[in-house]
Chains A and B, each alone.
Chain A
Amino acid sequence: MKVGLFIPCYVDQFYPGAAIATLCLLEKLGVEVVYPPKQTCCGQPMANSGFEHLTGDCNELFVKNFAEFDYIVAPSGSCVLHIRDHLHDDKHPEAAKNISHRIYELTSFLIDVLKVENLPARFPHRVGLHQSCHGQRGLHISSMTELVAPEFSKPGSLLKMVADIDLVDLNRKDECCGFGGTFCVTEEAVSVKMGKDRVADHLKHDVSYITGVDMSCLMHMEGILKRQGSNVKVIHIAEILNAG
């Protein structure tokens, strides 16, 4: 099995630690991972702003980078959802369709494809799990409180495999943090208020870390935590699953 590693642009630039942990974790689990170095972005920031029609070149580049792999894995629910729903390439429509079907967010790849049942990880800290909306409601990596359906959580199951972790239950299990891509600057006031409220739920439960599958939500909450002078840290789920 040959896996292409897709590292979202802002993770590449600002959170290389999350990317390194993803790579090392997959390698630890015996997967052959290749990182195509000429990758950039999935195109979501443009598309969500209404400029999907300008994402053609981005799409073409994505298809060129990832067409050859059995699976494509990324440490992000949001970018994967965008590729799943919106990747298209007029010159290589089949290749684009194939990629949409073979791209996985990291935790669903671990649970659904690798069928991971235990992990050699240890993380002796109190942790809150933020359910990022695109992974949860878009990719269905967890059950959703709105629906009358059986409960499950792929990231939650994986975190439970980690030794000595103390995972808290939040008051609002799956409310949006307010990042929302360009929403975080175009609707700054609402975005920040949503972020403050989400962070407060974690702080109420006395966590030391907030984790999640999307670094973008975590970056937003980190910005708020730091401004508040909090010692609570954000950490990508890959870094916990690869810890110890």
Chain B
Amino acid sequence: MTEHSTKEHSELAEDFIKDEDRVDWHDETLWFIRQKRDKAAHQLPEWEALREAASQIKNNVLSNLHDYLLQFERNAVANGIEVHWAADAAEHNQIVQRLLNEANVVRMVKSKSMLTEECGLNEYLAKQGIEVIDSDLGERIVQLAEEPPSHIVLPCIHKKKEEIGEIFHQHLGIEAGISDPQFLTETARQHLREIFLTRRAALTGVNFAVAETGEFVVCTNEGNADMGAHLADIHIASMGIEKLIPKKKHLGVFLRLLTRSATGQPITTYSSHFRTPRDGTKIHVILVDNGRTVQLGRKDFRNSLKCIRCAACMNTCPVYRRSGGHSYHTAVAGPIGSILAPNLDMEKYADLPFASTLCGSCSNVCPVKIDIHEQLYKWRQVLVKNGYTPKAKKAGMQVMTWTLSSPSLYQAAGKVGRWVIKYAPFAVNNKLNPWHKQRDMPESPEWSFNVWYKQNRKNDEQ
């Protein structure tokens, strides 16, 4: 429930691409991360076996989700954690509000949680008079800029350091014109330190929840989840129900894959295990469905729930790198977001499965082997069958299939097509033809191959 635009991906992308230097910079930055990922992956000869193991573990989780959830709840409660169940975003937000109200808390610190972006938690709590400060550096920057994150691992990857200096000048009182990354980071650190020390409630996401032990693991590079959780009286951890893994030993597979895929690091700087609340403090876990069980019921799309949110598919996606995360107008952008979002709202996100060339690079980098590009293709079929497609396109397609299923019509149409390009190029070389806007049409040959063949080869079948 991030701020939604009424524009479609193609229009938002076009806006982003107008500043070509920025697009080149955005593309190069993310491509650099893709290269770091390649280097890290190629250092492990067992990389593909790890991916396969992770995929199978997650398939097992999805096939036994009911049992693992109950097992996790049982063990977490035995550890002293309070477990809550939320059917949807609204219920999740109400639970958070209730927990804060009960503790008389009106100011909370929050580390990265894409789930709370999906649920629109910050906006909801703001309306209830509760202030939330995001403690991940990138998230804090976009929060100050009043924008949603554009990337799930690198939330402000679309901003240059000069722009960040300007935001800090406006909001954190530094001098104008500063763009030194070290200075800016220190500024944020001092600002957030005060927040960590004064907030009595901290919300974190969950990377992995272990059914066997009832503990959960939060991975950050900045240690901000730990700073928040350890200094607060109440730790609320929000997790999608698909975040489970069966046993603690499986963490070895996922922790090795996660950050190598995300940034090319061998492991996240902090992989913190939360199991039992300290004396006098509370840990709450909220298990959120919000459409996940619906997706679990869609045979072709259920395994999208294997996702561990590493963003490798975004970094490698040639479309994402050139259209920017905001062009996807959903909390989780890029290829994975494009197969998750239509499950939540087919009408609103009907454009996303079409925002891809189906090049398949996303599926190749996915550490849990989600067949992302195949699901993009399948979503297209589902969306069209459900009527979420422009009528003009449908009529055009019917003419096309009709022509292409009739050899004589096809040859006639081809003749006309070639003739038009050759003798009346203005008919196609105009602004109404999106091909021609920035590309020339192919030259029109005198003959089709079909005609050439008839004249140059004997063919008994004619």
Q: Are A and B bound to each other?
A: yes
Give the B-binding residues of A (Cβ under 8 A): 7, 9, 11-17, 19-20, 23, 34-41, 43, 45-55, 57-58, 60-61, 133-134, 137-138, 144-149, 172, 174-176, 178-181, 183-195, 197, 219-220, 222-224, 226-227
B394-412 vs A, CB cutoff 8 Å, 1 = contact: the mask equals 1001101111111100100
Do B400 and A48 touch (CB < 8 A)?
A: no
Q: Which A residue sits closest to B444, measured CB to CB?
A: A14
Residues A55 and B401 in contact, CB atoms below 8 Å apart: yes
Contacts of A19 in B (CB 8 A): 449, 452
Question: With an 8 A cutoff between CB atoms, is B359 at the interface?
Answer: yes
For residue B439, CB closer than 8 A to chain A, the reply is yes
Q: Would B407 and A195 count as touching, CB distance under 8 A?
A: no
CA distance A148 to B438 in the complex (A): 37
18 extra interface residue pairs, beta carbon distance < 8 Å, beyond A14-B443, A144-B361, A190-B319: A12-B414, A13-B417, A17-B445, A19-B449, A38-B407, A40-B406, A40-B407, A50-B385, A55-B401, A58-B405, A133-B361, A137-B360, A137-B361, A146-B316, A147-B364, A175-B361, A178-B357, A188-B435
In the complex, are the beta carbons of A15 and B405 less than 8 A apart? no
Asked whether B380 is an interface residue with its Cβ less than 8 Å from the other chain, the reply is yes
Query: Do residues A50 and B438 form an inter-chain contact, with CB atoms below 8 A?
Result: no
Q: Is B104 an interface residue (CB 8 A)?
A: no
Q: How far is the CB of A125 from chain B (nearest CB, A)?
A: 20
Closest CB of chain A to B130's CB: distance in Å? Answer: 39
B23 within 8 A of A: yes
Contact call A146/B461, Cβ cutoff below 8 A: no
Assess whether B440 is in contact with A194, with CB atoms less than 8 Å apart.
no
Chain B, residue nearest A65 (CB): B407
Q: With a CB–CB cut-off of 8 A, which chain A residues contact B381?
A: 47, 50, 52-53
Do B377 and A48 have beta carbons less than 8 Å apart? yes
A-B CB proximity, top 7 nearest: A223-B439, A180-B357, A50-B384, A57-B405, A146-B364, A50-B380, A137-B360
Query: Which of the residues A7, A23, A147, A185 comes within 8 Å of B434, measured between beta carbons?
Result: A185
* A12–B448 CB distance below 8 A: yes
How far apart sit A175 and B319, CA to CA, in the bound complex (Å)?
11
Asked if residues A189 and B407 are in contact (CB atoms below 8 Å), the reply is: no
Listed A/B pairs (24) with beta-carbon separation below 8 Å: A13-B414, A13-B417, A16-B449, A16-B452, A41-B404, A46-B400, A48-B380, A49-B380, A53-B385, A57-B401, A133-B358, A137-B361, A146-B361, A172-B31, A178-B357, A180-B356, A181-B357, A186-B10, A188-B10, A189-B13, A189-B17, A195-B439, A222-B442, A226-B439
Of all chain B residues, the one with the shortest Cβ separation from A146 is B364
**A19 to B, closest residue via Cβ:** B449
**Provided the pairs A146-B38, A147-B48, A195-B439 are in contact, do residues A190 and B364 lie with their beta carbons within 8 angstroms?**
no
Write out the residue numbers on chain A whose beta carbons fall within 8 Å of the beta carbon of B356: 180, 183
A146 lies within 8 A of B365 (CB): yes
From B39-47, B69-77, B180-188, B219-227, give the one contacting chain A: B39-47
Q: How far is the CB of A59 from chain B (nearest CB, A)?
A: 9
- Residue B318, interface by CB 8 Å: yes
* Complex contact A138–B360 (CB within 8 A): yes
Chain B interface category by residue count: 35 or more
Q: Which residues of A contact B238 (CB under 8 A)?
A: none
B124 within 8 A of A: no
In the complex, what's the smallest C-beta–C-beta distance from B310 to chain A, in angstroms? 13
B448 to A175, Cβ gap below 8 A? no
Contacts of A14 in B (CB 8 A): 418, 442-445
User: Looking across the interface, which residue of chain A has its beta carbon closest to that of B318?
Assistant: A176
Pick from A55, A193, A219: contact of B442, CB under 8 Å: A219
Chain B's closest residue to A57 (CB) is B405
Min CB distance, A45 to chain B, in Å?
7
Contact with A along B16-37 (1 / 0, CB 8 A): 0100100100010001000000
Closest to A62 in B: B405
Residue among B318, B434, B450 making CB contact with A37, cutoff 8 Å: B450
Task: For residue B412, give the distance in angstroms from its CB to the closest CB of chain A.
Answer: 11
B316, B363, B364, B402: which has the most chain A beta carbons within 10 Å?
B364
| A16 & B445 in contact (Cβ 8 Å cutoff) | yes
Contact B357 A179 (CB under 8 A): yes
Does B85 count as interface, using CB distance less than 8 angstroms? no
Q: How far is the CB of B439 from chain A (nearest CB, A)?
A: 3
Give chain B interface residues in 254-293, CB to chain A under 8 Å. none
Q: Does B383 make an interface contact (CB < 8 A)?
A: yes
How far apart are A201's CB and chain B's nearest CB, in angstroms?
Answer: 12
Q: In the complex the two chains form, what is the Cα distance from A201 to B47 in whole Å?
A: 29
Contact A176 B449 (CB under 8 A): no
A175 CB to nearest B CB, Å = 6
Decide: A224 near B360, CB < 8 A? Known: A36-B461, A37-B459, A54-B401: no
* Residue B55 lies at the interface, judged by CB distance under 8 Å to chain A: no
CB pair A176 B357 closer than 8 Å: yes
Given contact pairs A137-B361, A179-B357, A195-B439, A58 touches B401 in the complex (Cβ within 8 A): yes
* CB-based contact A193/B23 at 8 Å: yes
Bound complex: CA A34 to CA B458 (Å): 9
Which of chain A's residues have a CB closer than 8 A to the CB of B9? 187
Most B CB contacts (10 A, CB to CB) among A134, A146, A190, A223 go to A190
**Cβ-defined partner of B452 (8 Å) among A20, A38, A39, A40:** A20
| A16-B447, A51-B397 known; A148 vs B44 contact (CB < 8 Å) | yes
Residues of B within 8 A of A9 (CB): 404, 410, 414
Q: A183 and B404: CB pair below 8 A? A: no
Are B448 and A16 in contact, CB atoms less than 8 angstroms apart? yes
| B137: Cβ under 8 A from any A Cβ | no
Picked from B31, B44, B434, B443, the residue with its CB within 8 Å of the CB of A188 is B434
Q: Is B393 an interface residue (CB 8 A)?
A: yes
A223 touches B318 (CB 8 A): no
Q: Which chain B residues border A227 with CB–CB below 8 Å?
A: 438-440
B437 adjacent to chain A (CB < 8 Å) = yes
Q: Is the CB of B354 within 8 A of A183?
A: yes
